[in-house]
Homo-oligomer: A and B are copies of this chain.
């Protein structure tokens, strides 16, 4: 048996595992120190009461022969798919149908698995910096060539650089690319594209017969008008884009595991329907999200859960504002945090993102994520998340202010 050689291309450890190890090592040396974690983007608010109630009801349904549900449809129950199509798309005037919705155990799996739809030889462009799963999953499939230690880049990947010099709006590729990964509101920068900017990507994809994989996991955090909630707000996107959504950040489902992917029926390449292909992929290699979790997902769209969820989002966005304002007060340069729960902090002159991570942990015991972990354009930046309690957020801001004042 020959082990898949592509696994040798990549480090054994995923970004967040590496960071967890660094924190664990520090904790062991300094057991008395109170570390505040604004690192990994995990929610901290519990599941809202109305969704808890829906979970209990669904659990009870599993207890009697009459209401027991075994295998469900691999792509999700109609009650959930129809609710999603209605509230997330049709009510916004977008003509997405429930047969174009595929419910899954989360955006991470979908984003990683969607690459099975295209050929191994495809030329891939990925927003930089970005959620590491896009790159790592393509490396494991042997698509991105070799790692170049000097440049900190994969040899066959087209990087779509986002940084303060271009106001975090990457330029269209100068060459023809086959597949484009975009994430807006962006993880990690917390920045967004306007509808016009996103339309230019759709136009590029239509012209070059490219496919856009649009990750809208943070859609629920958009506060300002004029920011697209879905790529299907752009003309022609149903002919060139797949959109991935998540209940994780929207409704705190990081531990419940639920997401969905939109594959429009109009999406065809060489006469092949990606909707049919994704259906074949999911029904062959996946057996659906748990019934009780799908019921919880359904409940998120009903009152009073909807308002309870909105309150949680507001809570996190208030945290984001507190972090932004607090850092600006001491002269730090910050981005994001307005339409997303992430603050993208410029590290002080001459300090790399990993040095900043170590220094912050050592000096004030605040944990964030080194920007370079999200890609080469992340060097010189640092991600802080709004996912914590108000108390911890305020305490972290005070410590960060002390840190910057003493710099």
Residues of A that sit less than 8 Å from B by CB: 1-5, 7-8, 10, 12-14, 17, 40, 42-47, 49, 52, 55-56, 59-60, 62-65, 67-72, 105-106, 108-109, 112-113, 116-119, 121-122, 133, 136-137, 140, 178-179, 209-211, 252, 254-257, 269-270, 272, 274, 276-277, 279-281, 283-293, 389
Asked whether A285 lies within 8 Å of B59 as measured between CB atoms, the reply is no
Asked whether B287 lies within 8 Å of A108 as measured between CB atoms, the reply is yes
Tell me how far the C-beta of A15 lies from the nearest C-beta in chain B, rounded to whole angstroms: 10
Question: Given known contacts A52-B62, A257-B289, A285-B137, is B122 in contact with A1 (CB within 8 Å)?
Answer: yes
Bound form: Cα–Cα A178–B1 in Å: 4
Question: Given known contacts A42-B71, A56-B56, A122-B1, is B286 in contact with A108 (CB within 8 Å)?
Answer: yes
Asked whether B2 lies within 8 Å of A112 as measured between CB atoms, the reply is no
Asked whether A292 lies within 8 Å of B3 as measured between CB atoms, the reply is no
Bound form: Cα–Cα A257–B210 in Å: 35
Tell me how far the C-beta of A59 lies from the nearest C-beta in chain B, rounded to whole angstroms: 4
Bound form: Cα–Cα A136–B116 in Å: 14
Which chain B residues lie closer than 8 Å to A286 at the CB level? Answer: 105, 108-109, 112
- The CB with the most chain B CB atoms within 10 A, among A2, A63, A254, A286, is that of A2
Please list 26 pairs of residues, one from A and one from B, whose beta carbons are closer than 8 Å in the complex, sorted by A's number. Answer: A1-B210, A2-B118, A3-B269, A3-B272, A7-B272, A8-B272, A14-B280, A14-B284, A17-B283, A43-B70, A47-B68, A52-B62, A55-B292, A56-B56, A68-B255, A71-B254, A105-B257, A105-B286, A105-B287, A108-B285, A109-B285, A116-B140, A140-B285, A256-B290, A256-B291, A292-B292
Asked whether A65 lies within 8 Å of B42 as measured between CB atoms, the reply is no
How many copies altogether? Answer: 2
Question: Given known contacts A62-B256, A68-B44, A255-B290, is B1 in contact with A277 (CB within 8 Å)?
Answer: no
5 further A-B pairs in the complex, CB-CB below 8 A; given A3-B270, A290-B293 = A1-B211, A3-B117, A3-B272, A12-B279, A49-B63
Asked whether B2 lies within 8 Å of A121 as measured between CB atoms, the reply is yes
Contact of A1 among B49, B112, B209, B290 (CB under 8 A): B209
Which chain B residues lie closer than 8 Å to A133 at the CB level? Answer: 284-285
Please list the 8 inter-chain residue pairs (A to B) with the smallest Cβ-Cβ separation, ordered nearest first: A112-B285, A70-B254, A42-B70, A46-B68, A1-B211, A2-B119, A3-B272, A69-B255
Tell me how far the C-beta of A104 lies from the nearest C-beta in chain B, rounded to whole angstroms: 10
Asked whether B56 lies within 8 Å of A269 as measured between CB atoms, the reply is no
Tell me how far the C-beta of A200 lies from the nearest C-beta in chain B, rounded to whole angstroms: 18
Bound form: Cα–Cα A115–B348 in Å: 46
Contact of A3 among B17, B43, B65, B277 (CB under 8 A): B277
- The CB with the most chain B CB atoms within 10 A, among A4, A119, A133, A276, is that of A4
Asked whether B178 lies within 8 Å of A2 as measured between CB atoms, the reply is yes
Tell me how far the C-beta of A41 lies from the nearest C-beta in chain B, rounded to whole angstroms: 9
Which chain B residues lie closer than 8 Å to A210 at the CB level? Answer: 1
Which chain B residues lie closer than 8 Å to A274 at the CB level? Answer: 3
Asked whether A62 lies within 8 Å of B255 as measured between CB atoms, the reply is yes
Which chain B residues lie closer than 8 Å to A63 at the CB level? Answer: 46-47, 49, 52
Bound form: Cα–Cα A178–B4 in Å: 12
Which chain B residues lie closer than 8 Å to A43 at the CB level? Answer: 70
Asked whether A44 lies within 8 Å of B65 as measured between CB atoms, the reply is yes
CB closest residue in chain B, given A141: B116
Which chain B residues lie closer than 8 Å to A281 at the CB level? Answer: 7, 140
Bound form: Cα–Cα A136–B74 in Å: 15
